[in-house]
Amino acid sequence: MGIYDDVARRLLARCQAYRDREITLESLQHAVSDASDAIVAAEESDVRQQLLAAEARLEEIRFTVSTWRVRRKAMDVVSNLEALLRDYLPAKAP
């Protein structure tokens, strides 16, 4: 069990909300930023660094990618975030 399982689960839910077009890219970016801010334990610094990198990539996409390509590019980041968070969370019991 990770120290920040609740943070990871909340962010996974926000990733799904973005996939379902329930939230904007800006809202997702804020959720990623909030999650990285919540992670302060030294033993979780690698997860925090990956979240910071994802947040920076979403920022870059928002301001440098053509409007019609934004969602496709953002979905690549979302997929990577989901993989990171699923690896972080403990396996579910059958």
pTM exceeding the 0.75 threshold for the entire prediction: yes
- Is residue 94 assigned to a domain? no
Q: What is the DSSP string of 29-66?
A: HHHHHHHHHH---GGGHHHHHHHHHHHHHHHHHHHHS-
- Is residue 93 assigned to a domain? no
Q: So what's the pLDDT on residue 2?
A: 67
| Tokens describing residue 73 | 């590019």
Domain span at residue 56? 5-87
Could you report the per-residue pLDDT of 51-69, keeping only the tens digit for each? 999 999 999 999 999 999 9
- Is residue 19 assigned to a domain? yes
Cβ atoms of 85 and 77 closer than 8 Å: no
- Is residue 56 assigned to a domain? yes
What total of structural domains would you count in the chain?
Answer: 1
